[in-house]
Chain A
Amino acid sequence: MDLLPDEAQQEVIASTAALLAKELPVSRLRGSFGAGPERLADSLWRTFAELGWFGLGLADDLGGVGFSAVEEVLLARELGRALAPPSVIATLLAARCAALAPDGQRRDALLRGTLRAGWVEPVGDAEIGSRVRGRFQLIDAGGTQLLLVANASGAALIDVVATGGEASACLDDAVSLAAASIDAPALALVPAAREPLALRAALLTAAALTGIAEAARDQAARYANERVQFGKPIGVFQAIKHRCADMAVRAEVAWQQTAYAALALRESLTDAAFQVASAKALAAQAALESSASNVQVHGGYGFTVEYDAQLLVKRAHVYERLAGSRTQQLAAVLVAPAPL
């Protein structure tokens, strides 16, 4: 039993973080309001594919790298921290969905980075079977070819062209948003009994939210060390210091629970669903509360587009909605059997 990353896992973290710091610094999104959704260049997307990101947790006989949900969580945490488009995680999940579906079609194109997938979230009841039916929200689906949808009954891929939909501006303007009534054939279908992909989706959003909570903590600590008022760095004052400490607590809570949930899912423990729901609920809370607190630490600057603090708030709201909101996860936590 060991909850800390081993050397190979630390290598996944370090190499991912280094690449993202170079290619996707958070500052790239700074300074604009209404610039519109971010679409990563095909060359960068292919780099992700070459690094094996889209098949990281997929068995090698299914075309993947052969790691597990644990390494995927380490990747998703860094993607969250870098505010990488949520479609990166959707594409990883879509590749798994395609690989596990009977015909395996589109798997290789997703793994190679020539197809991308966005998120589709049910609004109310949705039917996921040989056809996908219901009211949905399409999130970060601009410029993708496929959509990944998952709930307790299963997961499916659908063709983005089959959905139509009405675009709206998104709270997070780097992410595209549309609403659609969908009645489309499932291009790949994985029933939950085969594998609970909705759980994996919730787990990876928990990891991304943890990355955001950690980024908020680190931004706040850095600013509190730099900003001088009353002749001292503001981090001297307990009103600021304790806010920062609370961010550190929330980040630790979110991360350790997410790490444990990843292990529970990998080992198919009987309480995996409970552990994942707990992780998502706590990570969403951590990201929302810490990103808000980070704006306050930044004072007036935090309220402007000149600083990165506001970017974290907005992305936290996007990931909170994906793969089951905090409220939905808490409901799942309470109906689960007693964990003891």
Chain B
Amino acid sequence: MDLEITAEDRAFRDEVRSWLHENVPRELRPEIGPEARAFDLAWQRKQFEGGWAGVAWPKEYGGRGLSLLQQMIWFEEYARAGGPYIGTCFVGINHAGPTLIARGSDAQKSFHLPKILRGDVVWCQGFSEPSAGSDLASLKTRAVLDGDALVVTGQKIWTSFAQLADYQELLVRTSTEGRKHHGITWVICDMKSPGIEVRPIVTMSGGAEFCEVFYENVRIPVANVVGKLDDGWGVAMSTLGIERGTGFIPEQMALAAEVEELIAEARVRVGPDGRRPAIADDEIARRLAQLRAEVAALRAMTLATVSRARRQPVPGPEGSLTKIFFSDIRQRMYKLAMEILGADALVLTGMADGWTRSYLRSYAATLGGGTSEIQRNIVAERILGLPKDSAQ
């Protein structure tokens, strides 16, 4: 165990800090629509041109080929500099890209990875279905082999930014033989293919990034299959393992900055007694302290994840421990923010210029990327060795 910071890492941090200081966009990120896409892609391109896109991605695909620790340093400084939410670039950078690096063919990697890093394209995810949420392996969207194409018919749901996306990581059923985990295929779907219809779903925080996606005889080249036909469950699990392992690092780093903002808020806002600042209230103070300690632990857990990744390239179930903890802190922080806001808790703000819309959005924290209940099953069964329910 060591905290040795090499001269190289220190120089890297300084370099990151000054670049971000100069280049982080000053304007607010548009929350929805083509404006959001344009903003995210322009910012991604700027990072790419500055040499900061894909810090830990292989050099041959346009990344920097640096260590995960340096990637974490980047995210930490990004949060400190108040860098914008990654938005529509999330799936490409954190899901599809890393999955292709791990499981894609050479042709898939050399075609897609540079586009993702350069900010040319937006990706979305097509995993969940109306009847296959937590029970993902029961998915039914059919793909039938017809010559050199898969013909897809069915429906996906909870697809963020489908209406703005160019490509989709899509799970389809190519076989109904044997166990339900068998016969699933992970395929790259071009969102401009004929037969795709996207319908946005408005969420409780007013966002319309969630969509339903309908497929009717959509032809996808077999060459777009990632991994093997019928063998997509393993590919999907590596996608989710990456997400749970290192995919949330930027948000975890951002959370630390948000907790400090809330502490600052509690120093200036009048507390429940109407006279002293909110932080003078013992209960509020204790809950803020608890959050601050927890965010420190979250960072330590992330360092442990990075240390683990150096020893075992394929993320294990430990990522679920961090995911459960992170989502829980996030929600408790926003609940506390609502108390500290007092009367202003009823005033709906934007995402980036206040707390209340983000509070509403925080309800998604224990749902997205696998509910906390599913994460607890993973921890109990795969880390603690508790028995599976035979119905599963």
Contacts and interface: CB of A to CB of B under 8 A. Distances in A.
B289 interface: yes
Given A3-B307, A244-B386, A259-B300, A339 B325 contact: no
B385 A256 contact: no
A248 B297 contact: no
A224 B384 CA distance: 10
B360 interface: no
Nearest to B391: A236
B59 interface: no
Interface string B373-392: 10111011101111111100
Interface stretch (B2-10, B89-97, B234-242): B2-10
Contact of A264 (B3, B288, B321, B389): B3
Contacts of A259: 1, 300, 304
Interface string B280-313: 0000011011101111110111011011101100
Contacts of A3: 1, 300, 303-304, 306-307
A256 B294 CA distance: 11
Contact of B297 (A2, A257, A269): A257
B172 interface: no
A245 B384 contact: yes
Interface string A255-288: 0110110111001010000110111011000000
A334 B304 contact: no
B41 to A, nearest CB: 29
A233 B380 CA distance: 13
Contacts of B4: 1
A275 B296 contact: yes
B221 to A, nearest CB: 41
A332 to B, nearest CB: 8
Contact of B256 (A249, A274, A281, A340): A340
B260 interface: yes
A279 B300 CA distance: 11
Contacts of A245: 324, 375-377, 379-380, 384
Given A257-B300, A331-B289, A225 B380 contact: no
A221 B308 CA distance: 24
A249 B375 CA distance: 11
Contacts of A236: 386-390
| Interface of chain B: mostly helix, strand, loop or mixed | helix
A241 B377 contact: yes
Contacts of B386: 221, 224-225, 233, 235-236, 240-241, 244
A50 B321 CA distance: 38
A249 B321 contact: yes
Contacts of A339: 256, 292, 295-296
B80 interface: yes
B293 A238 contact: no
Given A249-B324, A256-B301, A334-B292, A1 B2 contact: yes
Interface stretch (A4-12, A83-91, A121-129, A130-138): A4-12
Contacts of A260: 3, 296-297, 299-300, 303
A29 interface: no
B222 interface: no
| Most A-side CB within 10 Å, residue of B294, B375, B380, B381 | B380
B88 to A, nearest CB: 27
Contacts of A262: 1
A221 B384 contact: yes
A340 B322 CA distance: 20
A62 interface: no
| Interface of chain A: mostly helix, strand, loop or mixed | helix
Contacts of A240: 386
B69 interface: yes
Interface in A190-249: 217, 221, 224-225, 232-233, 235-236, 238, 240-242, 244-246, 248-249
B373 A340 contact: no
Interface in A1-37: 1-6, 9
Contact of A244 (B256, B294, B384): B384
Contacts of B380: 221, 235, 241-242, 244-245, 248
A224 B381 CA distance: 11
A1 B285 CA distance: 33
Interface string B21-32: 000000000000
A238 B373 contact: yes
A146 B386 CA distance: 46
Interface of B: 1-5, 9, 69, 80, 256-257, 260, 263, 279, 285-286, 288-290, 292-297, 299-301, 303-304, 306-308, 310-311, 318, 321-322, 324-325, 373, 375-377, 379-381, 383-390
23 contacts: A1-B4, A4-B307, A5-B1, A221-B385, A236-B389, A238-B376, A246-B376, A249-B321, A249-B325, A259-B300, A263-B3, A275-B296, A278-B292, A278-B296, A279-B297, A281-B289, A281-B293, A282-B293, A282-B294, A339-B292, A339-B296, A340-B256, A340-B260
Name the 8 nearest CB pairs between A and B, nearest first.
Answer: A278-B293, A245-B376, A235-B386, A260-B300, A257-B297, A334-B289, A256-B300, A245-B379
Given A259-B1, A278-B297, 6 more contacts: A1-B69, A4-B1, A225-B386, A256-B301, A269-B3, A330-B289
